[in-house]
Structures are given as structure tokens and as C-alpha cells.
Structure 1
Amino acid sequence: MTRSWRIDGVTDAARARIAVARLAAAYGVPTVERARLTAALSGHLRQCLTKGGTWVLTLEGPGSPAGTSDLHAVVAPVPGAGAAGRAPWTVTVPCAATGEVPGEDTVTDDPAGLSEALLGADEDTAVVLAQLTEQEELVAFHREELHQTNQGVVVLHAELDAAGRAQQAAFAAERRAREEAEKARHRLTFLADASAALNASLNHDEIVRRLPELLVPRYAESVDVWLFDHDDDRHRPAAHSGAAVLAARTGRPQYAADHPGGLPGVDDRPPSALAPERPLLCVPLPARRTPLGVLTLSPPGERWDPDDAVMLIELARRAGTAMDNARRFEHNRDIAETLQRALLTELPTTPGLSLAARYLPATHGLNIGGDWYDAFRQRDGSLITVIGDVTGHGLHAAVMMSQLRTALRAYAVDGGGPGRLLTRLHGYLRHLQPDLFATAVIARFHPDEHTLTWAAAGHPPPVLRLPDGRVRILDAKPGAMLGIPLRQDIADHTERLTPGSTLALYTDGLVERRALGIDPGIERLAQALGTYGSAALDADLEESADRILHPLLSDSEREDDVCLLLCHLHG
């Protein structure tokens, strides 16, 4: 085993010292030797921090390439980091373990982990001091034995018996202290794991569901969650105990039972009329402004240990914070989705041409981004369809998407082909936001002749389904991404259309997967589009759009927004 820590400051030094102490304990280093190791390491690290520069602490133990059976620590300067040329410091201590000792040496900023490390260091110091005290008592005992030799064998036996009883009492006290320390460690571990489980979800109902799963049966026989403003009747018991109502009004934990609870920070109340035979602990679920509800627990045995009650109150506080965060996230997500859909266009009705569009937000984050689609007529009666994607996510990308869409409509009033419109958008974006980029495809359908004129700028190519079922990917040379620091004139491309043809415009969120790239996704879209006949597309283009999307999105969660615009020329 060989592990290293880079030390740039006092925080890195403290974490490295904690990690070394844990690994030394895991490898069975005796307590005194471990205390000497950590004390010497702390002193040298303080000297290193005083000298300045960057240092590396390397720890080699059994199982390392060096093949040593001891624990070997080396503190050496990092070349070129302000501490070069200084001699490394080494120390070696014996190990009881000879193989690879599993364990995590990463020290986080979690208060529970740092507190446990501090308690562990104090335990080692206490053991060393206890051994020193024991040695001093032993020396004093021998001196007294020599001094009292003339007092006779009876007095000597009496003193030995007294010393034996004192030692037994010390062992019993030490055993009780170890048991209490182990219980405290279990509580801290449970609190840390439960907090991580609650904060891992941003779904309010999921957090409420997890609370009973975490607490039953270890710390509670039953768990009731009373939420004040929840619409789901599953979380509303038919009646609430008086202690729960009082906890809701005062914001203080209440203990309802036929005996005093003696729990820190908890008010004692008479037994509940709803369940007089069992004690109830009612803890408010706090939030930033007002309490969210009350958590009512019944003990797994006759009553709670006071330390367990303190831990449960702290868990309720963290659960309330997690639920409040989830509610805020869900509220912001709903606002974002409403804003995104408000920015999208209602498709026009065009004789002989059907349009169907789908927008699906990503399944992560606030679900607002820069994907958009649009369709409108020009003065000459032709229909412009466009689909695009502004880089990034969030409100800024959505605002820029809206500005680009408005600018495109303004440019289209003056006429011009898709390539000319994209070229003007490119210049507009460079002038408006030099650090923002976008991709787009514009397709124009002519009213009197069955032709399609299209142009692309850094966007995935359109997919054209012919009436006979064949599918073509229109991958003629596109322009570069809009907004790049480069002057460009984007060219038009023209295709002859026959009745029954269908054009698919889309964004990369539909076809791109991180592990596969974009080309396989485009092929899958072409295959899905080719499976439909012209009659089905003529009959219901909206249903066809849903059926095309389903196999393309069923493989994974969406990490990006998805836009799809289908344009079908009636047969």
C-alpha cells in the first residue's frame, strides 16, 4: 500500500494527519507508537508550513511495491514549488497487519467525520497518559512495597488486593467508555448516511417516503409524517395527537407518555389520547421560513435513549431542509418549463403541408435551454421552417434563443433564401454576443412548385423521407456554427420534392449519446422515419411524431433538450 497527499496549506496538513492516523490504526500500529507517529508528523508539517512551499506526504505500508512490513512515512518537498532543495523527513513504525488493509483515506469537510477524527486523536492521547499514570503508580507501589517490607506479609497482601480491585474498576470504567464511544460512532454514522440519502433526491415525495425506511425498525417502531400544506391525503392522518399539534404551534419537540422522558430540549406532555399505551416523540420539520410539518415517532422499545433523541431531532431538522430544497427546486423547474413552452411557436396551418413539432426538456436541471423551432410565411407565400440550438442552458440561453428567433423573423420580411438568413443571423450573433454560439437549419417550402430550399449552420443534417419509403440524409456541405469569429456566406441547397415526402428537422439532443456519438443516432432517426408510410403520415402527423420519438428516447435519461419538427407534403 502506497498513498500520497499533497500539502499546500494548514487544511491539507490537517487532512493528511487525520488520514495517516486512520491508516496507522487500520494497520495495527500500537497506540503509543501511533501517538508518537502523529505527534512527530504534526510537528514536522508545522515546520514545513512555516518554511513555505508545497510538500508531499507519502505513506508506505505492507503490500507496497517496496515489500516492507513496517509503516514508513516520508515528507518531501515538491520540486519547483518553493521548497526544493530541502531534505526529506522520514519516520518508520512497526505494523501488526501484513496484507492490504481496506479503507478510505479521503478526509471530507463533513463535520461528523472531522469530529470523529478529533475524538480518535484524543483517545490515543488518553491511552498514552493512562499508561504514563499506570507506570507512575507502579513505581510508587514498588517504593511503598520496599518501605513497608517490615510491616509484614499481611499488610503487603492487603495492598495487593486493593490494587487489584482498583484495576478491575478501571477496566470496567474503560469498557463502559468504549461502549459509549461505539454507540456515539454508530449514531454519527447513521446521521451522516441518512442525511446523504435525503439530500440525494430533489423530489419532495421521495424524501417523505425515505424517512420511514431510514428510521424503522432501528430507531422507531412507527413513523408518521404530517405535512401542513401537502395535497396528497396519503401524508395526512385522520387525526393528530395533541403533542403533534403543540409541536406545530411552538416549534419545539414534544414527548407524550405516562412517564417523564428526560430528553434534552424536549417538553414532556401527558400521554396521547390517540395512543395512550405508547410514548410519542413529535418533532417539527423546520424550513427557511415556516415549519413544513411534524414528524411523529414511537420508540422501538419502552423509551428512547437521550442521545438517540438528540440525533432524531437533528435528523428531522435536516429532513425539513431537504424537503424545503426539493419544493423550491420543483417550483423553479415548473416556472422554467412554463417559460420555455411560452417561448415556443404555435405552428401555422398551410394547405397541402402538415407540420408537427415536439419539444422535450432535459430530465436534469431546471429544464430550460436554448433549443427552439419556428415556422412562418414569407411575403411571397413560401413557408419558412427553422430549428436551432443556442449553446448552454438556463435563462440566459433561453433569452438569447428568443432574440435569435425574433431577429430571424425580422430578416425574413425582406425575403432571401435560408442561406442568406443564416448569414445575417451569424453577423447579428457576433455583434450581439461574441462569446455565445448557436446552430440552426432553415428549410423553405415553395408554394407553387414542389421544391425545398435549405441551409444549415453547424447543425445536424435534415432527414428526408421520400414517398417510396427511402430516406436520405441531406448532408450537403453546411456552414459553420453561428457566432464564431469568422466571416462566412452560407450557401443554399435545393431538393425536388414529390407529394408524400416528409422532412425531419431536429436538435442534437434527439440523436447524440455520450457513449456512441451522433452518427448512430441520425441513422436510427432515418430508420424510424422510413418505417412509416405516406398514408399514415397523411392521416395523423402528430401521432407519427410521438411514435418516432419513443424508440429514440427510451434508452436513457435525456441530458439535453430535444426538438423535432416534421414537415409532410400531402400525397
Structure 2
Amino acid sequence: MTRTWQISTVTDAARARIAVARLATACGVLALDRARLATDLGARLRQCLAKGGTWRLALQVPAPGDGEGLLHLALTPDREASAAGEPPWRTSVACPETGQVPDGGLPDADVPDDPAVLAEALLGADEDTVLTLEKLAEQEELVAFHREELHQTNQGVLALHAELDAAGRAQRKAFAAERRARTEAEDARHRLTFLADASAALNASLNHEEIVRRLPDLLVPRYAAGVDVWLFDQEDDRHGSAPHPAAAVLAARTGRPQYAADHPGGLPGVDDQPPSALNPKRPLLCVPLLARRAPLGVLTLSPPGERWDPDDAVMLIELTRRAGIALDNARRFEHNRDIAETLQRALLTDLPATPGLALAARYLPATHGLNIGGDWYDAFRQPDGSLITVIGDVTGHGLHAAVMMSQLRTALRAYAVDGGSPGQLLTRLHMFLHHLQPDLYATAVIARFRPGDPTLTWAAAGHPPPVLRLPDGRVRILDAKPGAMLGIPLRQEIGDHTVRLAPGSTLALYTDGLVERRAQGIDPGIQRLAAALGSFGSEELDTDLEGSADRILDPLLSDSERDDDVCLLLSHVAGTAGPPAVRLPSGAASRPLP
């Protein structure tokens, strides 16, 4: 269904615009679409009127029953305009209510020429514009509402970003603090580990010179570029005293650490002093080596870099304190060792010369610890002419053990004057030690040789068994039941044992330091001693008992480190060729100690 209008004047244009608006309303076109259609159509009509001529406006409506269709509008020029190249104008608008158009055709949309009617019709046509403006106002309100929501959202996002940024900064600070704390903890662990290791190294030695030598090796180059140890009692009088920094002298006088440099050290517990005149460009840290009673010296250090870290300085001061204690312990140990060694060597006597019987003794101190113990040997005659040989071991080391050994030696000689068998002598020594020193114990073996008697009498109290080499080279371990240790809180009667001695026999008495090793025990060592003694020939023992004693010790003491003293006493009965001449030993390594 189509409706057309011829437009050549403004009135024609107004009537056509009003008619199109009415027909669009009748076809159910939405108000907003009608307003757009009327606006577009009015603008196009104004252009046509400006160009002049007659224009044809056609409106095509879909037939009823076609469902939702389109309302087509076409504005075409007359022939002259069309020949001039003026294009037609066409538009379409949705027409959802085509069923409202009567079957007889489009409703009457003619508009009279009366100006009043046209004006009224034009005013009526603006109702769609009003509706459009109302909807536009609603949309503006909605836009304003969403704009406010967006603004609030933006404010929230900005606040969230600010909070996230603050949280990020706080987290970064926490991470940095954690890294610093972890680094400081790791540095502290390294310092403590170094302090523990260095302390163990210093206290492992009881030689004060060795401790002084170890200090530079421990500190250079990690914690110091240079180390100088000034000990007060080791000034070289032959060449004069070496010059010392003023800060070192001040540290010795005050007992406080001193830092000498052209800048403040900022070290805790350390006094700042001017730079040393001996070397003004080098900072010095002078720490006194304190002992229990008085300072022993001063440790002077120069830094590995420009200056020390305060924590490193605290660690160095603590290490110096421990070094002072280690030096003091070493000095005390060396003093006690010298006294004990002097006493022990003074108490070990010469071996007697006896026809038909050769004697050889060896004593070697321990190489670990206070190397003076209670090991001892002795040989002397009884009033009836018998020869007593004895070897013993007092528990412990040092001056106390040496003094107790001398008392046992003196008591045994006193008891032997009254006679008595080896077992009786050990029994009396047991009672003597138990009453004299209830907390001290000893072990011993006594062997008695009678002139012209081929029988050896011996007794043992808690001591390793004697080893007897027979003239044919066979070796016997005299392991008959011994008595208990001397001095234990037990009443005991120690029994005697006898064995026949043929000419050429050799008896070995020894202490456990010769045969006992921590990893192996004592039995394998006794077997090695028996094998070494059995490897000699009778002629070799007859002619060179001293050299035989050395050759026995060499394989048994192949390791240079000994934890205990070593004592060996050999008694050799002369062979049928006659008694050997008793030869006094020579040399510190192979002589019985005087």
C-alpha cells in the first residue's frame, strides 16, 4: 500500500510531513523512531525546497498480515532535477504493528490548507519530539547515575591501588629487613663457628710457643692483615726490647682494648687512641692477653681492609681472651711437667750389676698431655742376696702420680729389708697404699732371682703378665692368676708363682703403655711383644741386652704419638758360656734413666 505527495511549496512540505507522521503513528512506529523519521524528513524537505522544483514523496506500508515489516519512505526529484543528477532520498523504519492498518487501505492523512489547521497539526506532530526529549532526559539521568557509580568505583580503585602500593612497600621493607636479618644471622653463625674452631685449635696444644704460632694462621687473612704477639716474659734481652705501639703499651697497663687510628673506630668496649707513631697510616687494634692473675701480653692486629666491622671486633676480643687462657693453661702445664719430670728422673736409680744376670731398662714418657706419669721400675738386693726386680704403674699423670710413685718405691725397698716373697711385698704395698691414698690405685709385678737357684718367684697385682723367653726361643706368657690392683678397698693376700729358669732365659716386665692401644686392646700387644722377644737369638741377648731392648721397642712403638708412658725391664740369665759383662747404656734414647 503506497501513498504519494507532490511537494513544491512550504505548505506542501508541511502537509506531507504531518501526513507521514500520522501514518507512522497509525502503523505503530515507535515514538522515538517517528521523531527520527520526522526530523530526517523535515531536513530533507528543507533541502528540496531550497533547490526548487517539484518533488515526489512516496510512503509504502506493508500489507496487513505480513507481521513485522518496514515502512519505506522515498523522496524523488522531478525529471529536470533527476536529469541534473540529483539522487533520490530513501529511508525505512520498523513497523511492528502493520495489522492496525485497515484492509481498505491507509487511513485518511490529508491535511487541509487552513493555516490554523496546519499549525495545530504541526504542534501535534511535536508530541513525538516531547516524548523523545523525555526519554533523553531519562537517559541523561541514567548516564549521570552511572557516571557517579563510575566515579565512586574509580575512587575505590584508586584507594585500593593506594592500599596495594602501601602494602607492596611494606612487604618490600619486610623482605629487605628479613634479608638483612638473614645475612646478619649467617655472619653471626660464621663468627661463632670460627670462634669455636679457633678456640679448639688453641686449646688443643699445651705448648705456649705452638699457641703463639697458631694465632696468625687462624686470623690472617680473613680477620686481620697482620698479627703481632707481645709476651711480657719473652723480651729478647740479647738484642734489646722491640718497639711496641703506644696503644699496645696502654692496653698492657689498663687491661682494656685500644684502637689506634686517624679516625674513630666505633668499636664496642674499645678505647680510641691517636695513630701509632710507628706506622701512622695503619689502624691497630691492641687487645691484652688476660690470664687469671695478670696480663700475659698484648695481641696487636691490623685490619684486613680499611677498618673492622664492630661485630668482628667483638669476636676478636673474645678470641684474644680465650687465647690468653690457653696460654696460661700451657704455662701451668709446662711448669708442672718440668717439676714432675725432674722428680721422676731423680727417683729412677741405676740398675745394679749382678753376676750371671744382665738387666736393661727403658722409660719413655707419653707424647700427649702431661707426659709424666706413674710408671716406674726398680731393681735392688735383699739382705739374703736375692735380687728384686719390680715394675709398676700408678694411676694418673703429673706431679701427684710421680710423688706417689716415689713413695711406693721407697716403701717397697723398706719392706724388702725385712725379707719376704714378691707376693708378701705386694700385699704390704696394697695395705700401705689403701691407708695412705684411698682414692689412688696402682699395679705392679715383682720378680725375685736367687743366686744359684734356677727358680724364679714372681707375683702380680692387676698388672699385665710377665713374658718369659726360654733358651730354645719359645716364649711363655706368665698369666697365672694375679692379685687385684693395689689400693682398692678390698682385703687381699697376693700369692706367689714360680717358674724354672734355665741359663739363657730372658724375663720381660713392662707397663701397659707398651702393649695397649685404644683401637685394639691389650692382648694383641702382648702377643706382639712375645713375638718380638722370641725373634732374638740367645747369643744376641747374651752379648747385647741393651741393643735388644731398643730393638724390642722399635716395632712396638712405630707410631710416634703415645697416650701413656712406656716402661720395659729386661732380666737375662747368662748362658753356659758365662756371665756377660754389664755395660752401662749411653744416649738418652736407649739408656735406663738415672
TM-score, length basis structure 2: 0.61
Distance 1:474 1:379 in 2: 27
Q: Deviations over 1:159-208 (max 9, x none)?
A: 55983685355655555455445444443443344333333433323322
| Pair 1:238–1:550, CA change in 2 (3 A) | farther
Cα displacement (A) at 1:377: 1.0
Residue matched to 2:502: 497
* Aligned mate of 1:163, from 154, 157, 166: 166
Alignment of 1:110-189 (within 5 A): 156=159, 163=166, 167=170, 172=176, 175-189=179-193
Cα displacement (A) at 1:375: 0.9
RMSD: 3.7
Cα displacement (A) at 1:293: 1.8
Q: Which amino acid counterpart does residue 501 of structure 2 have in structure 1?
A: R
Whether the aligned pair in 1 keeps the contact of 2:434 and 2:487 (CA below 8 Å) is yes
Residue matched to 1:283: 287
Residue matched to 1:488: 493
Residue matched to 1:388: 392
* Aligned mate of 2:380, from 368, 376, 382: 376
Query: Would you say 1:516 and 2:529 are equivalent positions?
Result: no
Distance 2:183 2:413 in 1: 75
Cα displacement (A) at 1:346: 3.0
Q: Which amino acid counterpart does residue 297 of structure 2 have in structure 1?
A: G
Give the secondary structure class of the aligned counterpart of 1:566.
strand
Residue matched to 1:459: 463
* Aligned mate of 1:213, from 197, 204, 217: 217
Larger-gyration structure (1/2): 2
| Pair 1:395–1:154, CA change in 2 (3 A) | closer
Q: Which amino acid counterpart does residue 226 of structure 1 have in structure 2?
A: W
Q: Deviations over 1:1-37 (max 9, x none)?
A: xxxxxxxxxxxxxxxxxxxxxxxxxxxxxxxxxxxxx
| Pair 1:156–1:358, CA change in 2 (3 A) | same
Residue matched to 2:118: none
Residue matched to 2:551: 547
Distance 1:242 1:295 in 2: 13
Whether the aligned pair in 1 keeps the contact of 2:438 and 2:487 (CA below 8 Å) is yes
Alignment of 1:89-488 (within 5 A): 156=159, 163=166, 167=170, 172=176, 175-230=179-234, 239-391=243-395, 398-426=402-430, 428=432, 438-449=442-453, 451-479=455-483, 481-482=485-486, 485-488=490-493
Give the secondary structure class of the aligned counterpart of 2:569.
strand
Q: Which amino acid counterpart does residue 511 of structure 1 have in structure 2?
A: V
Distance 2:438 2:463 in 1: 19
| Pair 1:503–1:218, CA change in 2 (3 A) | same
Q: Which amino acid counterpart does residue 497 of structure 1 have in structure 2?
A: A
Unaligned runs of 5+ in 1: 1-145
| Pair 1:489–1:270, CA change in 2 (3 A) | closer
Q: Deviations over 1:470-492 (max 9, x none)?
A: 43333445455555635536134
Cα displacement (A) at 1:374: 1.4
Give the secondary structure class of the aligned counterpart of 1:338.
helix
Unaligned runs of 5+ in 2: 1-148, 581-594
Identity %: 80
| Pair 1:270–1:459, CA change in 2 (3 A) | closer
Distance 2:372 2:245 in 1: 44
Q: Which amino acid counterpart does residue 498 of structure 2 have in structure 1?
A: H
Distance 1:304 1:440 in 2: 60
| Pair 1:237–1:314, CA change in 2 (3 A) | farther
Distance 2:521 2:187 in 1: 51
Whether the aligned pair in 2 keeps the contact of 1:282 and 1:297 (CA below 8 Å) is yes
Whether the aligned pair in 2 keeps the contact of 1:422 and 1:490 (CA below 8 Å) is no
Distance 1:297 1:424 in 2: 61
Residue matched to 1:100: none
Distance 1:176 1:476 in 2: 72
| Pair 1:459–1:342, CA change in 2 (3 A) | same
Q: Which amino acid counterpart does residue 500 of structure 2 have in structure 1?
A: E
Cα displacement (A) at 1:392: 5.2
Whether the aligned pair in 2 keeps the contact of 1:479 and 1:491 (CA below 8 Å) is no
Residue matched to 1:561: 565
Cα displacement (A) at 1:429: 5.2
Whether the aligned pair in 2 keeps the contact of 1:417 and 1:492 (CA below 8 Å) is no
Distance 2:423 2:165 in 1: 102
Q: Which amino acid counterpart does residue 351 of structure 2 have in structure 1?
A: L
Whether the aligned pair in 1 keeps the contact of 2:455 and 2:498 (CA below 8 Å) is no
Distance 1:150 1:476 in 2: 105
Give the secondary structure class of the aligned counterpart of 1:229.
helix
| Pair 1:482–1:296, CA change in 2 (3 A) | closer
Distance 1:420 1:178 in 2: 73
| Pair 1:195–1:536, CA change in 2 (3 A) | same
Distance 1:323 1:221 in 2: 23
Q: Which amino acid counterpart does residue 496 of structure 2 have in structure 1?
A: A
Q: Which amino acid counterpart does residue 241 of structure 1 have in structure 2?
A: P
Whether the aligned pair in 1 keeps the contact of 2:471 and 2:502 (CA below 8 Å) is no
Q: Which amino acid counterpart does residue 197 of structure 1 have in structure 2?
A: A
Give the secondary structure class of the aligned counterpart of 1:268.
strand
Q: Which amino acid counterpart does residue 331 of structure 2 have in structure 1?
A: R
Distance 1:158 1:477 in 2: 94
Whether the aligned pair in 2 keeps the contact of 1:220 and 1:300 (CA below 8 Å) is yes
| Aligned length, in residue pairs | 422
Residue matched to 1:88: none
Q: Deviations over 1:207-253 (max 9, x none)?
A: 223322222222212222222223899xx995433333333333332
Distance 2:431 2:318 in 1: 57
Distance 1:227 1:351 in 2: 56
Q: Which amino acid counterpart does residue 233 of structure 2 have in structure 1?
A: D
Distance 1:442 1:185 in 2: 58
Whether the aligned pair in 2 keeps the contact of 1:476 and 1:493 (CA below 8 Å) is no
